[in-house]
Chain A
Amino acid sequence: MSDCIGKIAKLETFGLVDGPGVRFVVFTQGCHLRCKFCHNPETWACEGGTEWTAEKLFERAWRYHNYWKDNGGVTVSGGEPLVQAEFVKEFFRLAKEKGVHTTLDTAGQPFTDEDPFYSQFCELMEYTDLVMLDLKHTDDEAHRRLTGRTNANILEMARWLSDHGKAMWIRRVLVPGISDDEEELRRCRAFIESLNTVERVEILPYHTLALGKWKELGFAYPLDGVPTPTAEEVRRAEELLGITPTEPPSKAADILSPKCC
Chain B
Amino acid sequence: MKLTETPHYDQWKGFEGRIWKEEVNVRDFIQKNYKPYDGDESFLADPTEATNQLWASLQMLQKEERAKGGVLDCETEVVSGLTAYGPGYIDEKLKDLEKIVGLQTDKPLKRAFMPYGGVKMAVQAAENYGYTVNPELKKIFSEYMTTHNDAVFAAYTPEMRLARKTHIVTGLPDTYGRGRIVGDYRRVALYGIDYLIAAKQEDLLNCGCGNMYDEVIRQREEISAQIKALKGMKEMAAIYGYDISQPAKNAHEACQWLYFGYLAAIKTQNGAAMSVGRVSTFLDIYFQRDLAAGLITESEAQEMIDHMVMKFRMVKFARIPSYNQLFSGDPTWATLEVGGIGMDGRSMVTKTDYRFLHTLENMGPSPEPNLTVLYSSALNDNFKKYAAKISVTTSSIQYENDDVMKPVWGDDYSICCCVSATQTGKEIQFFGARANMGKALLYAFNGGFDEKHRIQCGPKMERITGEYADFNEVMAKFDFWLDWLADIYVNVLNLIHYMHDRYYYEAAEMALIDTDVRRTFATGIAGFSHVIDSLSAIKYAKVKILRDEEGITTGFETEGDFPRYGNDDDRADEIGVWLLKTFVEKIKRRHTYRNSEATTSLLTITSNVVYGQATGAMPDGRPAFASFAPGASPSYGAEQNGLLASLNSVAKIPYHWSLDGISNTQTINPDALGHSEGERVNNLVQVLDGYFDQGAHHLNVNVFGLEKLLDAQAHPEKEEYANFTIRVSGYAVKFIDLTKQQQDDVIARTCHKAL
Residue of B669, B677, B689, B694 touching A260 (CB-CB under 8 A): B669
B644 and A13 contact, CB distance less than 8 A: yes
A250 and B707 contact, CB distance less than 8 A: no
* Residue ID in chain B nearest A60 by CB atoms: B568
Which B residues touch A15, using CB under 8 A?
Answer: 642, 754
Q: Is the C-beta of A261 less than 8 angstroms from some C-beta in chain B?
A: yes
A261 and B704 contact, CB distance less than 8 A: no
Nearest-Cβ distance from residue B314 to partner chain A, whole angstroms: 27
Interface residue count on the B side (C-beta < 8 Å): 43
B393 and A67 contact, CB distance less than 8 A: no
Q: How far is the CA of A250 from the CA of B678 in the complex (A)?
A: 9
Stretch at the interface among B45-53, B176-184, B679-687: B679-687
Q: Which of A247-261 contact B (CB under 8 A)?
A: 247-253, 255-261
B644 and A69 contact, CB distance less than 8 A: no
A66 and B673 contact, CB distance less than 8 A: no
Q: Which of A229-258 contact B (CB under 8 A)?
A: 246-253, 255-258
Q: How far is the CA of A68 from the CA of B708 in the complex (A)?
A: 29
Q: Is the C-beta of B753 less than 8 angstroms from some C-beta in chain A?
A: yes
Interface contact tally, CB-CB below 8 A: 127
* Residue among A12, A40, A69, A251 with the highest chain B CB neighbour number at 10 A: A12
Q: How far is the CA of A251 from the CA of B720 in the complex (A)?
A: 12
Q: How far is the CA of A189 from the CA of B606 in the complex (A)?
A: 53
* Residue ID in chain B nearest A69 by CB atoms: B686
Residue of B641, B674, B686, B694 touching A17 (CB-CB under 8 A): B674
Interface residue count on the A side (C-beta < 8 Å): 38
Q: Which of A134-173 contact B (CB under 8 A)?
A: none
Which A residues touch B675, using CB under 8 A?
Answer: 17, 246-247
Q: Is the C-beta of B392 less than 8 angstroms from some C-beta in chain A?
A: yes
* Residue ID in chain B nearest A256 by CB atoms: B705
B645 and A250 contact, CB distance less than 8 A: no
Q: Is the C-beta of B751 less than 8 angstroms from some C-beta in chain A?
A: yes
Q: Is the C-beta of A94 less than 8 angstroms from some C-beta in chain B?
A: no
Which B residues touch A69, using CB under 8 A?
Answer: 686, 689-690
Q: Which of B698-716 contact A (CB under 8 A)?
A: 703-708
A256 and B704 contact, CB distance less than 8 A: yes
Which A residues touch B645, using CB under 8 A?
Answer: 11, 13-14
Q: Is the C-beta of A6 less than 8 angstroms from some C-beta in chain B?
A: no
B568 and A259 contact, CB distance less than 8 A: no
Q: Is the C-beta of A25 less than 8 angstroms from some C-beta in chain B?
A: yes
Which B residues touch A176, using CB under 8 A?
Answer: none
Q: Is the C-beta of A209 less than 8 angstroms from some C-beta in chain B?
A: yes
A21 and B643 contact, CB distance less than 8 A: no
A261 and B706 contact, CB distance less than 8 A: yes
* Residue ID in chain A nearest B720 by CB atoms: A255
Residue of A13, A17, A72, A251 touching B643 (CB-CB under 8 A): A13
- Given the known A-B contacts A256-B705, A259-B671, are A209 and B677 also in contact in the complex, defined by CB atoms under 8 Å? no
Q: Which of A169-200 contact B (CB under 8 A)?
A: none
Q: Is the C-beta of A96 less than 8 angstroms from some C-beta in chain B?
A: no
B707 and A256 contact, CB distance less than 8 A: yes
Which B residues touch A250, using CB under 8 A?
Answer: 392-393, 670, 676-677, 680
Which B residues touch A67, using CB under 8 A?
Answer: 644, 686-687, 689-691
Q: How far is the CA of A210 from the CA of B755 in the complex (A)?
A: 9
Mark each residue of chain B from 742 to 753: 1 if its CB lies under 8 Å from any CB of chain A, else 0: 000000001111
B671 and A258 contact, CB distance less than 8 A: yes
B672 and A16 contact, CB distance less than 8 A: yes
Nearest-Cβ distance from residue B692 to partner chain A, whole angstroms: 9
A252 and B704 contact, CB distance less than 8 A: yes
Q: Is the C-beta of A32 less than 8 angstroms from some C-beta in chain B?
A: no
- Given the known A-B contacts A13-B643, A39-B755, are A22 and B683 also in contact in the complex, defined by CB atoms under 8 Å? yes
Mark each residue of chain B from 508 to 539: 1 if its CB lies under 8 Å from any CB of chain A, else 0: 00000000000000000000000000000000
B707 and A21 contact, CB distance less than 8 A: no
Q: Is the C-beta of A58 less than 8 angstroms from some C-beta in chain B?
A: no
Extra inter-chain contacts (16) besides given A17-B671, A25-B754, CB under 8 Å: A12-B641, A13-B641, A13-B644, A15-B754, A16-B754, A17-B674, A21-B686, A63-B648, A67-B644, A249-B677, A253-B670, A256-B670, A256-B671, A259-B671, A259-B755, A260-B671
Query: Could you list 14 A-B pairs, sorted by A, with CB under 8 Å?
Result: A12-B641, A13-B641, A14-B645, A15-B754, A16-B754, A17-B754, A22-B687, A25-B754, A64-B690, A209-B755, A250-B670, A253-B671, A260-B669, A260-B750
